Amino acid sequence: MKRAMTAFAAVCSVAAALAAQAPVPAPQAAPGDWRTFEGTLSATGQRQSIPTESGRPAVTLQLSGPVAITAGEGLRRAFRSEVVGFEDGAGLTVLRGVWTDDHGDRIFSALRGETVASGRRIAATITGGTGRYAGITGEYSFEWRYVVEAEAGTISGRAIGLRGRYRLGGGGK
């Protein structure tokens, strides 16, 4: 009996010593708490335009490419981004986007800004999601930079300073 108690005490001592050295897990954000993120985005696609009476062209855009989340927790680290949009040549710009992760879960966004051109600031509102992102809300922004704009309408670009915040559970602002 004494030998069993000594063995039990030894096991407890070792377990306590190991527990004291184990890293403490980061606190989990509660549903509804804001979480921040940063990342990179690049996209390639088509830009088509027609002239308007104002002299500024009306434009449609269709872009897709990778998004990599480089800072923050709770989001997958990689997404495929797709954006479609319209500029009417008179200042109205309407863009919609979706980020899809490797499990098929999606984050939907409404983007706004000045005419989509190199050096322009784009702001987005996260409007919802599917799967693990159901109930997500938030916002993000970036500066758009063209890398290539070909005459045939093919464009490639990247986001500079992609930063945002989100929360799960659909909590209000």
- The CATH number assigned to the domain with range 36-167 reads 2.40.350
Q: Is the pLDDT of residue 158 over 50?
A: yes
Per-residue exposure over 8-45, b if at least 16 CB sit within 10 Å of its own CB, e if not: eeeeeeeeeeeeeeeeeeeeeeeeeeeeebebebbbeb
Report the alpha-carbon distance of residue 61 to residue 47 in Å, rounded.
5
**DSSP H helix total and E strand total for the chain:** 1, 8
Whether 24 shows a pLDDT value over 90: the answer reads: no
Q: Assess contact for 98 and 80: CB atoms under 8 A.
A: no
Cα distance between the two ends of the chain: 62
106 or 1, which is more confident? 106
| 5 pLDDT tier (thresholds 50, 70, 90) | very low
What's the pLDDT tens digit per position in 110-130?
998 766 555 688 999 999 999
The mean pLDDT of 39-45, rounded to a whole number, is: 96
- Please report, for the chain, the start and end positions of each structural domain, with discontinuous segments joined by +: 36-167
For residues 108 and 79, the answer to whether their CB atoms sit within 8 Å is no
Instruction: Tell me the per-residue pLDDT of 55-90, one tens digit each, with 9 for 90 and over.
Output: 889 999 999 999 999 999 999 999 999 999 998 888
Residue 31 has pLDDT above 60, yes or no: yes
Whole-structure pTM over 0.85, yes or no? no
